[in-house]
């Protein structure tokens, strides 16, 4: 592994240097991205990667919260004595799996 220096934005847009160790594969990936001309530096590539990671984690948290709300609603419906047929349950599960597959793809 080699050390690469990146900058991280912290409080009030201050920049603090940060050393990060990258595997040779990741270092090559970063260098290749800079070589395309789309990014001007390794720091820019890493910042973009971290922004994407942050967005992905927020999306995952939102999906989990949505699932929890739906589960709570379903449990409340069962507590009220509401039931669904086997066919309706299977249809809803197929729709749910279809949406998850689209998100993953």
Q: Quick check: 42 and 53 in contact, CB under 8 A?
A: no
pTM (predicted TM-score): 0.62
Pairing relation of β-strands 15-22 and 2-9? Answer: antiparallel
C-alpha span between 71 and 81 (Å, rounded): 15
C-alpha span between 1 and 20 (Å, rounded): 10
Residue 91 burial (CB count, 10 A): 12
Token pair recorded at residue 14: 């201050």
Provide the residue-wise pLDDT of the chain in tens; the chain has 105 residues: 555 555 444 444 566 788 889 999 999 999 999 999 999 999 999 999 999 999 999 988 988 888 888 889 888 988 999 888 889 888 988 888 887 777 766
């Amino acid at each position: 592994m080699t050390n690469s220096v990146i900058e991280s934005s912290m409080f009030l847009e201050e920049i603090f240097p940060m050393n990060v160790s990258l595997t040779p594969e990741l270092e090559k990936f970063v260098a290749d991205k800079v070589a395309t001309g789309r990014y001007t530096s390794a720091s820019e590539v890493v910042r973009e990667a971290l922004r994407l990671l942050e967005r992905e984690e927020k999306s995952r948290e939102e999906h989990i919260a949505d699932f929890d709300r739906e589960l709570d609603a379903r449990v409340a419906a069962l507590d009220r004595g509401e039931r669904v047929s086997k066919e309706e349950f299977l249809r809803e599960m197929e729709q749910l799996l279809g949406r998850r597959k689209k998100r993953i793809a």
